[in-house]
Structure 1
Amino acid sequence: MEHEPDGQALRRGEIRNLGPIAGTGARKGIPGIGAADLGEIIQLPDGSYVAVFGDAFGGSKVGSHPHYPSVAVPVTFDDAGRPHFGAPLTGPRGSPNPLFIPPRRARGMNTLPAGSFQVDGKTYMLVVGTNQLRPEGGSWLVEVTDDPSRGWKPVARSWRPAGYAKGGQSQISGYQSEDGNVYIVADAFDRTRKVTLYRADPHTCTDRSAWRPFVRLRDGSTGWGKPRQQAVPISDTNFGELSFREVDGAAVLSGFNVRNGPDGAVEIWVSERPTEIFSAGVMTVVMQQSDPDAANFVPQNYGGYIVPGSTLRYLNIFASQWNTLCDPQGVPIGAPYNTQQVIANVVRRG
């Protein structure tokens, strides 16, 4: 799936926000859904794609009805690289066809997407059971199937409690590298942890207890530890949403840095190796909320999911905005609440 349209070349370092594509303010958006966020693009086994949104609502703001705790929507891209969404494949709360079927220990929780990785043609998503956006119901993996309408079920024995890995593995993202290994970054769904890194064998990647953490070794250097060891943080700050992919042979991390400025920012990091994504990576801010007069200002931004088919010259990401402020009566405004398309040239100088 290539998304580098002719006539839309970007200069090195250039960033363009193409505006809302789903949710509040989107010109076409998702049929029947007026407010949505996230929208990670997931490839199904048959080669088609769906966008997986988090909490979504029938009206144009948070709190309107009906409420979808998560929703899968078919998506295609036109020659200009713009997404087009079909009708939702899964139903709202209380319907017989939710997207994520929770394990027993997460029943009654809000089930939300928390990242993905693809291995040998199979796609796995992490799902988190939340209460007020806290991962109190733990997290688990699901294997993506061709029919989201039948629900994606937990992978056997993949559930972990919220405190697993010292609370730092309720949100993930990863990729299978050209070297055959699977590299996975992780943090906390509630944005209370720094980023950690793991390496997994493709044959055991759904067993999180088999992941090898990137650790501090006895001699003070860093390297791969043994399964179940505590991973060392590789970021200086806490992060939220993560999207970790190999693009044009480089390790690329897009995500929400909680501590960039007073309110956080969506950043893209590019490095030669996954272990050096922060220590030697080149960073580009694609959404900031520190300076209204500066470029790329988007209040209350987050997300930043890399779209399949992206290149370093034309990195295509879906980032989000949610106005959490209240009106004078104390009622949440709830809008804008949307997903926006941002394209960037993140080719490194060299």
Structure 2
Amino acid sequence: MLEKKTLTQLGVPSRRAVLRGTVGAAAAAALGGATIKGASAAERGSSRTQMPIGGTSATLLQDLTGPDLTSRFDAPFTDLGIPVRCADGSMLFIGGDTYAGTDVLQGRWSCPVGLRSSSRVIDELAIDSCVGGDRVRQLVDEPHTPVPGTNPTTAIPTDVFRVGDTLYMHLMRGPIYQAHHTDFWKSDDNGETWQFLCKWDDVGQYKGAFQQKTYAVADNGTAYVLSTRFDRGQDSDLLLHRVALDRLGDPSAYEPWGFDENDSGWAWGHEPTSVAKPRHWGEICFRAMDGKYAFTFFDDSAARIALQIIPVPEGDLYATPEQPLLFGAPFDHGSFLRNLYGGFIVPGSTFDDFHIIASQWVGHPEANTPDEYHFMHYRIDGISNSHP
């Protein structure tokens, strides 16, 4: 059991300082520009600035975790809550670092974990069970090995999705923001047990931009994979790969999308090129939806969660307007949320009925009260789907 005192003795800095979302400006100019036919990534990024679309509004439907809601599952403090609709109809939320004590970093530490809602109605999700029976258990083996001078190791989930009756989960392994490998798992029993598929050891390839992955499952037998570096304190490229659904667990089957001015411009099989202007990417989520593709992300430098809609996976994110969904602010109200992050799309969403899971970590050391460290369910209204 790792308590705060133990972590301090190990010389571990507070995870609050590195994990929490930054409170910042309510809106920022989107990083993009007009499409240039045949343009390289650099030319795309240097064209005129595209301002974000306004008009969205957020409604908090419910907190999903917290001491009053999920302590009975030994999960009073958890985050992320990546949602996936299981074959049995339940909604499984995959949580990140989860603590069973009286505050964050206290009590039994588990990661990743699974919390479940039996509701089939997207507006009425509530946690009523967990993977593990009476209390959450780690979905995979993770010893949380102490690393002197930094945080202990952990297993942060970046995406969970379903193909047929099988769930797939991608994890980043190592100290927070210092992944030493990533790995990939599957479950054929609605997330109760998980089997290892493969891992990527070279987390430094592409300047680290293949660490954090999210998968959009298309109806053509292919998954399209966006990826970034797992360190929101540094600029990172955003890369695109594709992989056949029957080869998801084969790292050699991931084909990159890139620009080569000497060989037909943008094409599959080229060295991967950033499909968006580099920035401080936080959590990312890519999904096929309503005949198009939805990409949500947490932008740490602007302290907001935003959405882009593209017609095809290879769509131009440089030129695509960004629609802000939630803004960092010193208060919680409507579309404003203190120390926000996350932004995972809830299965069953449409552009007319759009739902996301957001996380929040707010410390109260001066009041000597527990941190607010939980995930919650928002509905977003006013999304524009008219942009190509």
Q: TM-score, normalised by structure 1?
A: 0.80
Deviation of the 1:213 alpha carbon: 1.4
Separation of aligned partners in 2, 1:244 and 1:98: 25
Deviations 1:32-85 (A, max 9, x none): 321111111124454543211111122463123222222112213365712121
Which of residues 136, 139, 150 in structure 2 aligns to 1:99? Answer: 139
Whole-Å Cα distance in 2 between the matches of residues 68 and 102 of structure 1? 8
Q: How does 1:50-129 map to 2 (within 5 A)?
A: 50-59=92-101, 61-77=103-119, 79=121, 81-90=123-132, 98-101=138-141, 109-129=153-173
Looking at structure 1, the residues matched to 71 and 206 of structure 2 have their Cα atoms a distance apart, in angstroms, of 37
In structure 1, distance between residues paired with 2:195 and 2:58: 38
Deviation at 1:15, TM superposition (A): 2.3
Quote the residue 2:258 is aligned against. Answer: 215
Offset, 1:143: 0.8
Q: Can you give the 5+ residue segments of structure 2 that lack an aligned partner in the other structure? A: 1-54
Query: Following the alignment from structure 1 to structure 2, what is the Cα–Cα distance between the partners of residues 114 and 137?
Result: 15
Note if contact 1:71-1:91 (Cα within 8 Å) is conserved in structure 2: no
Instruction: Report the equivalent of 1:237.
Output: 279
Question: Are residues 1:344 and 2:344 paired?
Answer: no
Shift in CA distance, 119/19, structure 1 to aligned 2, threshold 3 Å: closer
Residue pair 1:31, 1:86 contacting (<8 A) in 2 also: no
Distance in 1 (alpha carbons) for counterparts of 2:196 and 2:76? 29
Residues in 1 aligned to 2:102 and 2:119: alpha-carbon distance in whole angstroms: 24
Shift of 1:188: 2.0
For the residues of structure 2 that align with 1:123 and 1:224, how far apart are their CA atoms?
Answer: 30
Counterpart pick for 1:318 among 340, 352, 357: 357
Q: How does 1:1-350 map to 2 (within 5 A)?
A: 13-23=56-66, 28-29=69-70, 31-32=72-73, 33-59=75-101, 61-77=103-119, 79=121, 81-90=123-132, 98-101=138-141, 109-131=153-175, 133-146=176-189, 148-150=191-193, 152-155=194-197, 157-191=198-232, 192=234, 193-219=236-262, 222-226=265-269, 229-260=271-302, 264-276=303-315, 278-289=317-328, 296-323=335-362, 326-327=365-366, 335-345=371-381, 346-349=383-386
- Coordinate RMSD, CA, aligned: 3.4
What does residue 4 of structure 2 align with?
none
Query: How far apart, in 2, do the equivalents of 1:80 and 1:177 lie?
Result: 22
Q: CA separation of 1:335/1:168 partners in 2, compared to 1, >3 Å: closer, same or farther?
A: same
Verify the 8 A CA contact 2:257 2:267 in the aligned structure 1.
yes
Aligned AA for 1:61? D
| Greater relative contact order, per chain length (Cα 8 Å cut-off, separation 6+) | 2
Matched AA of 1:338: H
SS in 2 for 1:197: strand
Alpha-carbon distance, 1:287 to partner? 1.6
Mark the runs of 5 or more structure 1 residues left unpaired by the alignment: 1-11
Residues 213-247 of structure 1 show CA distances to partners (whole Å, capped at 9, x for unaligned) of: 121122597523327x3332424423111111011
Deviation at 1:325, TM superposition (A): 6.8
Instruction: Return the alpha-carbon distance in structure 2 between the equivalents of residues 92 and 245 of structure 1.
Output: 32
Question: In structure 2, do the counterparts of structure 1 residues 58 and 197 end up closer, same or farther at CA, with 3 Å as the change threshold?
Answer: same
- The equivalent of 1:6 in structure 2 is none
CA distance in 1 between partners of 2:282 and 2:307 (Å): 13
Name whichever of 312-321 and 34-43 sits farther off. 34-43
Letter in 2 for 1:137: H
Contact 1:56 1:68 in 2 (8 A): yes
Amino acid at match of 1:74: R
Q: Aligned partners of 2:350 and 2:332: how far apart in 1?
A: 29
Larger Rg: 2
- In the TM superposition, residue 92 of structure 1 has moved relative to its aligned partner by 11
Percentage of pairs with the same residue = 21
User: 1:149-187 deviations in whole A, cap 9, x for unaligned?
Assistant: 44x2320x4332331333112211112223432111111
Q: What do the CA deviations read for 1:283-332 (whole angstroms, capped 9, x no partner)?
A: 2212212575996221211001111111111111100011257549xx9x
SS of equivalent to 1:28: helix
2: distance between equivalents of 1:245 and 1:148? 20
Distance 1:205 1:235 in 2: 27
How many residues end up aligned between the 2 structures? 325
Q: Distance in 1 between matches of 2:363 and 2:202?
A: 28
Partner Cα separation in structure 1 for residue 125 and residue 58 of structure 2: 18
